Amino acid sequence: MHKLKVKFYFFISLIFTWPSLVKASVLQDALTTAQATNQKAKLAEADNPAFLVGEIIKYALGFIGTIFLVLIIYGGFLWMTAAGNDQQIEKARKILTSSTVGLLIVILAYALSLFIIDVILSATG
């Protein structure tokens, strides 16, 4: 009786999961096709110098943004471990303030450069 119950539950779970497995397979095929198309488009754009400059700016600003994020975490850690030490709290506050301002500058620079690169790419064809 126990084996019959296990087979029944397996059969029921197979019935309910089969459509999602088929759907996942179809979605994976569509995703692979879309990625191949996107890769071909990127290779065509790679010849454009404006695209290359835009990619360099994007990665550089992403790296700088990561550094500011680590500094914000470090400042928060200093603040949380200060245990009432006013000098350490003031140091953490300065780090947090400077890092937040720096991160905002990086985000605005990224948005501005993305806009400018898009305008240049659309103007050049």
Q: Are residues 60 and 91 in the same domain?
A: yes
CB hemisphere CA count around 81 (13 angstroms):
6
- 11, pLDDT greater than 80: no
CB hemisphere CA count around 85 (13 angstroms):
10
Dist CA 118 CA 115 (whole Å): 5
Q: Which domain holds residue 125?
A: 48-125
Banded model confidence at residue 74, pLDDT cuts 50, 70, 90: very high
- 14, pLDDT greater than 60: no
Q: Are residues 28 and 55 in the same domain?
A: no
Q: Are residues 93 and 65 in the same domain?
A: yes
* pLDDT of the residue at 114: 79
Q: Are residues 79 and 104 in the same domain?
A: yes
| Tokens describing residue 44 | 């065509």
* pLDDT of the residue at 90: 95
* pLDDT of the residue at 46: 61
Q: Are residues 67 and 100 in the same domain?
A: yes
Dist CA 125 CA 123 (whole Å): 6
* pLDDT of the residue at 63: 87
Q: At 111, phi and psi to the nearest 5?
A: -65, -45
